[in-house]
Structure 1
Amino acid sequence: MDAKYDYAIIGAGAAGLQLLLKMIRDPFFKEKSILVLDKDEKSTNDRTWCFWEKGETTWDQLATKTWGQGLFINLEQTIDFKLDPYRYKMVRSADFYSYAKGELAKAENVKWVKDEVVEVNDQDIKGSLDNYQTNHIFDSRIPQAFHDKQDDYHSLIQHFKGWFVKTKKPTFDPETFTMMDYRLKWKDSTSFTYVLPISETEALVEFTLFNDQLLMDDEYDKFLRRYLATYLNLFEYKVEEVEQGLIPMSDFPFHKYHEKHLTKIGTAGGWVRPSSGYSFKNADRYSTMMVENIKKGKRPEKGIATSRFRMYDSIFLNVLSSNNDLGEEIFTRLYTKPDIQSVFRFLDEESSLSEDMKVMFSLNKPQFWRAFMNTFFK
């Protein structure tokens, strides 16, 4: 066992590494010892993060591609939308991990240990290889209560499989991405295809579902093949990489599982917005807030859980849990609004109450109003 660390971060994913980057860049933490624990080397591309931002930011240097315009497609219409002043950005995890490791290598107060955490007891961490002590823990592991109390909350899964395809002939418009294409769906579910063209001959094509039922692995492949053949007229292509994953989308109160010496982060801290599944930019924003809270002597998580937006997410999950087939109509109303920027502000939790009401009223379905009453008065 080493000496006691000031801080320990369990999990070197988007949340853990963004928090670490904020810490090592702030003089306040220069003399603080920081331990990072993860069971993996974080050397492969295990996921792709996408998000929208205004202007130039730190992440531009890591972005594989950015887009200024997008498409929303269903059987009845194809909607073009301009993102300005936003850009939609794609960051591959391998690039992010490499960048983060390069930055932390410059910090003499950080120690990265490849170990799987087995148990946490107050300030003591038990790993599969060693034990560690720290003053405060930032923990990205989902609490067991989330699994034990599934029936008490509205929960869905965003699950997906994507192919990075390369074609011999120009096929894609590299300036326009497809946010959602609902022409191909799995049964009566919220399911769509997502297309991120990197060049005229390269793209990530992903089949995604928002429901509570995972598919057999070959089912995702069937939908990807059908989409490429039917809607892109593609029969000759090479699948260069495969990406697959699932994201829990729930109104479970993750924010209630902080402890005196432990703060939950990432999905475990409620950093994933359940109405969209987006998390990378939240990790950036919430990490900044945590660092400022620590410097002011406050609890790290203070002010991060916003009850207003948690209520909106609960309403959304309430509706889709009982009426999953409504997803296409709901997202159509959102992403075909004349000012898509207002939707981005809403999903980024930057909108005013009056803007929120405009977005909510645009989803004028009786199921939403019943869900609102159930959520507000429960």
Structure 2
Amino acid sequence: MLGPVYYYVIVGGGLAGLQLALRLKDDVFFKGKKIAIVDPSFAINKEKTWCYWEKNRGRWDFLISAEWSKGKFISTFTEKELELTPYSYKMLPSEAFFEYALDEIRKSEDISLIEDEITEIDTVKMKAVGKSKSYNATHFFDSRVSSEYLETEDYTKIYQHFKGYHIKAKKPVFNPDEFTMMDFRLTYKNSTSFTYILPFSETEALVEYTFFTPYITEEAIYDEQLKKYIKDYLKLDSYEILREEQGIIPMTDFPFDKENAAEITKIGTGGGWVKASTGYSFKHTEKKISKIIKNIKSGHLPSKDLFRKKFKQYDRIFLDVLARRNEKGEQIFTNFYEKNSVEEIFAYLDEETSRKTDLKIMFSLFDPEFITSFFRKLKP
């Protein structure tokens, strides 16, 4: 059954789909262009938080629940205080974002929220085929993850997987002005694994145990490591777990963007918008959408120059080292944080550095394994 004809169909109402819809809604250039967001469910996701660093004030400050201007990095080799200014590290609950985004979009006369599951995009007939209807459009923004990625073994796959406890202690134990980016003192069996702490007060914090590994672990291991860290390093025997969160984020050099075409732009995780070497996605999503809007208004394909090749190559090399020699993660990250300024680190991870700074950072990370991975991942 043929449904209405839209100018754009956005497949997926997650972070990328809703951020894109908000930008289209707010830009007069797209006024009057009918847009559909198609997702199996628009139920509010309450189980996730996004964190990101940003200079000065930002677009989403009215939704953030916490913010830090200081941090620290801890390993068995060193402990480094991180003065973030002019950056700050921000935490945004998914519930706040989804409630705001969906409320704003529902006010728009040009955007429809449609509950359906898209199974195929037919670029000949220019329609997205759903289980209930088909949706014709001039262009499709597709957040679905390629089935090829799930099946292939031809690319490096690291998983950032984690579990966190939002705990409330009976005594002051946290410094609410300083978050912990990585604490490697408690690692799991020669893996790249660490504790991450976001303090909200002297007695409350999100304590998260995180792995960057080529494998997924059993849930009991997260609990074991979290409880051990809380007991041995925070010195807490009595505390309340207010909430738990858990997730798996792909860190991979799979070329999601190869499916971009004149009719389709892949977005979000399905478009390779998760930074491969860190797992961060929130600010990368915002930047990619800004580029898409600029491209459209300039008469280019939406996907034109969404990625910078040199940073994709840097990520490929790093992931290959981590996949082959996962136990080296602590030393690599220690070098990264010890030998570079916070501004250099954040600019590099935001893909905003010059070749000169890139070289400085590469030399700071140097290990013979990077040479091996460079030639293993050399692209023609």
**TM-score, shorter chain, exceeding 0.5:** yes
Partner of 1:127 in structure 2?
Answer: 130
Q: Do 1:42 and 1:94's aligned partners in 2 also have CA atoms closer than 8 Å?
A: no
Q: Do 1:12 and 1:42's aligned partners in 2 also have CA atoms closer than 8 Å?
A: no
The unaligned stretches of length 5 or more in structure 1 are none
Deviation at 1:203?
1.1
- Local SS of the residue matching 1:332: helix
Distance (Å, rounded) in 2 between the aligned partners of 1:89 and 1:128: 39
Please identify runs of 4+ aligned residues in structure 1 that moved more than 3 A: none
Deviation at 1:128?
2.7
Q: In the superposition, relative to structure 1, how do residues 46 and 352 fare at CA in structure 2: closer, same or farther (>3 Å)?
A: same
Distance (Å, rounded) in 2 between the aligned partners of 1:238 and 1:207: 17
Deviation at 1:167?
2.2
Q: Is 51-60 or 70-79 further displaced after alignment?
A: 70-79
Q: Do 2:13 and 2:42's aligned partners in 1 also have CA atoms closer than 8 Å?
A: no
Residue 70, structure 1, aligned to residue 75, structure 2: no
Aligned residue identity for 1:11: G
Distance (Å, rounded) in 1 between the aligned partners of 2:45 and 2:156: 33
Distance (Å, rounded) in 2 between the aligned partners of 1:55 and 1:244: 29
Aligned residue identity for 1:182: F
Partner of 2:81 in structure 1?
Answer: 80
The counterpart of 1:255, out of the listed 254, 257, 261, is 257
Deviation at 1:37?
1.4
Deviation at 1:273?
1.0
Q: In the superposition, relative to structure 1, how do residues 343 and 374 fare at CA in structure 2: closer, same or farther (>3 Å)?
A: same
Residue 223, structure 1, aligned to residue 205, structure 2: no
Deviation at 1:338?
4.7
Distance (Å, rounded) in 2 between the aligned partners of 1:42 and 1:132: 22
Give matches, 1:265-344, under 5 Å.
Answer: 265-344=267-346
Q: Is 117-126 or 271-280 further displaced after alignment?
A: 117-126
Q: Do 1:319 and 1:368's aligned partners in 2 also have CA atoms closer than 8 Å?
A: yes
Q: Do 2:340 and 2:361's aligned partners in 1 also have CA atoms closer than 8 Å?
A: no
Distance (Å, rounded) in 2 between the aligned partners of 1:40 and 1:183: 41
Q: Do 2:46 and 2:93's aligned partners in 1 also have CA atoms closer than 8 Å?
A: yes
- Local SS of the residue matching 2:229: helix
Partner of 1:157 in structure 2?
Answer: 159
Partner of 1:95 in structure 2?
Answer: 96
Distance (Å, rounded) in 2 between the aligned partners of 1:336 and 1:182: 14
Residue 51, structure 1, aligned to residue 62, structure 2: no
Q: Do 1:257 and 1:264's aligned partners in 2 also have CA atoms closer than 8 Å?
A: yes
RMSD: 1.4
The unaligned stretches of length 5 or more in structure 2 are none
Q: Do 1:6 and 1:134's aligned partners in 2 also have CA atoms closer than 8 Å?
A: yes
Partner of 2:21 in structure 1?
Answer: 20
Aligned residue identity for 1:341: E
Map Cα deviations across residues 300-342 of structure 1 (whole Å, 9 max, x no partner): 0101121100000000011111000111111111122351210
Distance (Å, rounded) in 2 between the aligned partners of 1:202 and 1:127: 45
* TM-score normalized with structure 2 length: 0.96
- Local SS of the residue matching 1:207: strand
Q: In the superposition, relative to structure 1, how do residues 176 and 45 fare at CA in structure 2: closer, same or farther (>3 Å)?
A: same
Aligned residue identity for 2:254: F
Q: In the superposition, relative to structure 1, how do residues 213 and 377 fare at CA in structure 2: closer, same or farther (>3 Å)?
A: closer
Partner of 1:31 in structure 2?
Answer: 32
Aligned residue identity for 1:282: H
Partner of 1:191 in structure 2?
Answer: 193
- Local SS of the residue matching 1:199: coil
- Local SS of the residue matching 1:59: coil
Distance (Å, rounded) in 2 between the aligned partners of 1:246 and 1:252: 16
Deviation at 1:223?
0.9
Map Cα deviations across residues 190-243 of structure 1 (whole Å, 9 max, x no partner): 000100011222211111101121111121111111111111112222212111
Q: In the superposition, relative to structure 1, how do residues 273 and 374 fare at CA in structure 2: closer, same or farther (>3 Å)?
A: same
Distance (Å, rounded) in 2 between the aligned partners of 1:59 and 1:50: 11
Deviation at 1:349?
0.5
Distance (Å, rounded) in 2 between the aligned partners of 1:135 and 1:205: 46
Q: Do 2:72 and 2:80's aligned partners in 1 also have CA atoms closer than 8 Å?
A: yes
Distance (Å, rounded) in 2 between the aligned partners of 1:20 and 1:204: 31
Q: Do 1:5 and 1:135's aligned partners in 2 also have CA atoms closer than 8 Å?
A: yes
Q: Do 1:23 and 1:29's aligned partners in 2 also have CA atoms closer than 8 Å?
A: yes
Residue 233, structure 1, aligned to residue 238, structure 2: no
Distance (Å, rounded) in 2 between the aligned partners of 1:103 and 1:168: 40
Aligned residue identity for 1:346: Y
Distance (Å, rounded) in 2 between the aligned partners of 1:124 and 1:64: 40
- Local SS of the residue matching 2:4: coil
Q: Do 2:44 and 2:95's aligned partners in 1 also have CA atoms closer than 8 Å?
A: yes
- Local SS of the residue matching 2:288: helix
Partner of 1:110 in structure 2?
Answer: 111
- Local SS of the residue matching 1:328: helix
Give matches, 1:203-214, under 5 Å.
Answer: 203-214=205-216
Distance (Å, rounded) in 1 between the aligned partners of 2:241 and 2:12: 30
Work out the number of aligned pairs and report it: 377
Q: Do 2:106 and 2:112's aligned partners in 1 also have CA atoms closer than 8 Å?
A: no
